[in-house]
Structure 1
C-alpha cells in the first residue's frame, strides 16, 4: 500500500459519499486500480486502503484522491470534487474551474478565459484520470440548448475583423498538422493554450458584429477542441476534459450546431478510447440527432463514425455496421453546395476504412478488419506519422488474432519504429495492446526481443 500522510479524524464526508454510492471497499479499490493502470500509474490499492482513508482519515498521495473522486463520480452519475471527498486541500490536484458549463454566456466566457490563463501554470502530480461523469452536465446542457442568442458585442475597445479570424483558423490548422505528425506532446500543439489566452481571449472581449462574433466563437471552440485532443493524446485526461467542456460551451455561444456536434463527437471518441463505449454511443448519437437538420454531411458522417467506433468497443457488430454504413452514405451525399467545413476535410472514405479496420479488430473479426484496411489509402509517415503507426499496430494485432505470429511481429516492428518517435501516450497504448496480444507466445525468443525493443523505444519517446 502506498505511503500515507499523517492520520486525522475519520473522513465523514468520504464515508457518506461511499454509502450513497452503494459500493463496497473492494469494488472501489478494484476500479481505482483499473483507472490507475489506464493512466500509467504503477500503484496498487487494496480494500484496506479505502478503510484507512475513511476510518482513520489517512491521506493517500496523488493521484489516488483524483482516482477515488472519479470512481465515486461513476457510481453517482455526476462529477465528484476533491472537496466533496474531504481532500480538497491537498496540493497537486486538479482544479475544478474548467469543468464548469455555465448557462450564462458572459459567465461561460469568464470561466473559459480564466481556465486558459491558469492551466499551464498549475502544479499537477501526474495527470488526473478520465472521469466520464465530468461530461454529464455539459453534454446534457448542450443537448437541451445547443445555441445561444446572437453574438453581437459592442462593448470592447478593439474591433474584430476578418484578418483576426483568419489568423486563428491558421493557428488551429497548424496545430492539427503538428499533432498528427508528432503527437500531442509536441511544442506546437502545446502552444494552442497560449493562442487561446493571448490571442483569442482578447478578441472575445472586443467589438464585433453578429456574423463576425459567431465565427469568432466557432474558431475559438475549434482551438479549444484541438487543445483538448492534444492533451488527451499525451495522456493528460483531466486537462483534456476541461478543454473539451470549454470547447463545447464556446460552440454553443457561436450558435453553430455543427461546431457543437463536432466537439461532442470528438468527446465521444475519447470516451470510447478510455473504456466507456456505452456512454460514448449516447454522446455520438446526440451529436448526430441534434444537428442532423442543419449540419453539413461530413460533420454528420463523423458523428456516425464515432458511434461505429463505440459500438465496436462495446462488441455490437450490428450497431457498428449500421453506423459505418450511415457514415459512408453521408459522405456519398456531399454535393458542391454542401458547405462542408475545411477543418473536417480529412474525413474521406479511405479514413472511414482505416477506422473500420480498428472497429473490426475490436469485434474480433481479423479477416474483415484486413479487408477494410485494403480499402484505406496509404498514408505517408512524414505527414501522418502517428496515424500510420497506429494503423500498423492495429493490423499487426489482427494477424495475432489469426494466429499469424510472423506477420504480427513484422507489422508490430514497423509500428514501433514509427511510434517510438511520436510523443503520444494514446499511440503507445496501441503498442501495449499488441504486446498484450502476444501473451500466448511470450516465452518465444522473437517475442521476448520484440517486447524488450518496444519497451526501450517507448521509454525513450
Structure 2
C-alpha cells in the first residue's frame, strides 16, 4: 500500500500542532498507525518520514489511513479526534458514520442497521476516528425515553416471515454463544455472525410479519448484533463493536424487549468503562437499571450493578462501588433462589 497520495498541499499545521500536543514522536505514531491498519486487515509500512510528509508537505494518506492516524492521536490525548482536527476533513467518506445512527422511526432503524451490515463485512470497511463515547449519547437518551416501540408488525414485504425463520436465527445466535464461550469472540465461527446478519437477518427485516413474529424477529436480530459486537470487542475493533451495540439497542427497542435493551446498554457501559470513560459508564449502567427495574430478570439487573460497581471503582468512589456490588450480589441471590 502506498504511503501517501501524490496530491500536494500546503503544510498541515493542524496535524503538526496536534502531534506536538499529544507528545508522540513521529516514529511511535507511525508504528501505531501500522498496528491499527493491520487490525483492519491492511498491510502498511509507514515510518517517521511518512508522518513528516503528512505534516510538512500536506500529503494525505489513502483512505482509511486518516482514521487510523486520528485514532492513534486520540489514544494519546484521551479524547475523540475528528478528521478535521488533523487537517484531513475532506478525506472523510459518506459511510464514515454508518452504524452510529439511532433513528426514532422503526423503518429508518431497519434501513440503518441493514446498511451497516452490508458495509461491515467489506475488507475495506470505512469507519470514523475510532471509539467515541459521545456517539452513545443519542442512542442512550432515546432508549431511556422510549425503551420499547409500540408495534412491530410490517406489511408489504416480499417474504412472509414465519416461526421457522426465527428458529434459524435463534440457532445461529446459540451457536455463536457456544463458540464464543469455548474459543473466544475472535474465532472464525463467531465472525460468521456478521455474515448471518447481512445474508439472513436483513432480508427477513425487509419482509412482512405480524406483531408477535416481528417482536421476536427484532429481538433475536438484536441478540445477533450484540454478539457481533462482542466479536469485534474481543479483537480490539472498538469502533465496529460500538456500531453493533448501537444497532442492537435500537433493534431491542423495535422488539419491545426491555430486558435485552438493558443488557445491551450495560454492555455499552462496560465498553465505555474499558475505554477510560468511567463517569459515563456509571450513568449508563444506572440508567439501564432504573429503566428496566421491574421488567428485567434479577440476573440481568445484577449485571448492571456489577458494571456500575466497576465504574465507581475506576472513579475511586469506594463507597458507591461497595453499594453497587452489594446490590449485584443480592440480585444474584434472588436469581439463584428462583
Interval of TM-score (by shorter of Structure 1 and Structure 2): 0.7 to 0.9
- Superposed counterparts of 1:114-263, under 5 Å: 114-123=115-124, 129-263=130-264
* 1:236 to 1:77, Cα distance in 2 relative to 1, 3 A: closer
Distance 1:306 1:232 in 2: 16
Maintained 8 Å contact 1:269/1:280: yes
Q: Of 89, 92, 101, which residue of structure 1 is paired with 2:91?
A: 89
SS in 1 for 2:99: helix
1:111 corresponds to = 112
Maintained 8 Å contact 2:285/2:308: yes
SS in 1 for 2:59: coil
1:66 corresponds to = 67
Maintained 8 Å contact 2:67/2:127: no
Maintained 8 Å contact 2:143/2:250: yes
* 1:217 to 1:124, Cα distance in 2 relative to 1, 3 A: closer
* 1:245 to 1:317, Cα distance in 2 relative to 1, 3 A: same
2:41 corresponds to = none
Distance 1:31 1:112 in 2: 39
SS in 2 for 1:191: helix
Residues 54-73 of structure 1, C-alpha deviations (whole Å, 9 max, x = no match): 77533257776325545679
Residues 234-266 of structure 1, C-alpha deviations (whole Å, 9 max, x = no match): 122221111111111111211221111111111
* 1:323 to 1:39, Cα distance in 2 relative to 1, 3 A: farther
- More deviation, 211-220/129-138: 129-138
Residues 343-401 of structure 1, C-alpha deviations (whole Å, 9 max, x = no match): xxxxxxxxxxxxxxxxxxxxxxxxxxxxxxxxxxxxxxxxxxxxxxxxxxxxxxxxxxx
Maintained 8 Å contact 2:4/2:61: yes
| Structure 2, unaligned runs of 5 or more | 39-44
Distance 2:189 2:84 in 1: 32
Residue 148 of structure 1, CA deviation: 2.0
* 1:335 to 1:189, Cα distance in 2 relative to 1, 3 A: closer
SS in 2 for 1:178: helix
Maintained 8 Å contact 1:193/1:227: yes
Distance 1:169 1:79 in 2: 38
Distance 1:75 1:102 in 2: 31
Residue 303 of structure 1, CA deviation: 0.9
Residue 94 of structure 1, CA deviation: 7.6
* 1:61 to 1:208, Cα distance in 2 relative to 1, 3 A: closer
| Larger-gyration structure (1/2) | 1
1:26 corresponds to = 20
2:102 corresponds to = 101
Distance 1:58 1:124 in 2: 22
Distance 1:330 1:145 in 2: 25
Residue 152 of structure 1, CA deviation: 1.3
Distance 2:307 2:262 in 1: 11
* 1:259 to 1:80, Cα distance in 2 relative to 1, 3 A: farther
* 1:75 to 1:37, Cα distance in 2 relative to 1, 3 A: closer
User: More relative contact order in 1 or in 2 (CA 8 Å, sep 6+)?
Assistant: 2
Maintained 8 Å contact 1:69/1:82: no
What number of residue pairs does the alignment pair up?
326
1:9 corresponds to = 9
* 1:254 to 1:82, Cα distance in 2 relative to 1, 3 A: farther
- Superposed counterparts of 1:40-439, under 5 Å: 41=36, 56-59=57-60, 65-67=66-68, 69=70, 80=82, 86-89=88-91, 95-123=96-124, 129-334=130-335
Distance 2:238 2:302 in 1: 26
Residue 105 of structure 1, CA deviation: 1.3
Distance 2:20 2:281 in 1: 27
- More deviation, 157-166/251-260: 157-166
Maintained 8 Å contact 1:29/1:45: no
Maintained 8 Å contact 1:278/1:310: yes
Q: RMSD of the alignment, in Å?
A: 4.1
Distance 1:31 1:322 in 2: 44
* 1:285 to 1:153, Cα distance in 2 relative to 1, 3 A: same
Given the two structures, how large is their TM-score scaled by the length of structure 2?
0.79
Maintained 8 Å contact 1:73/1:80: no
SS in 2 for 1:259: helix
Maintained 8 Å contact 2:83/2:129: no
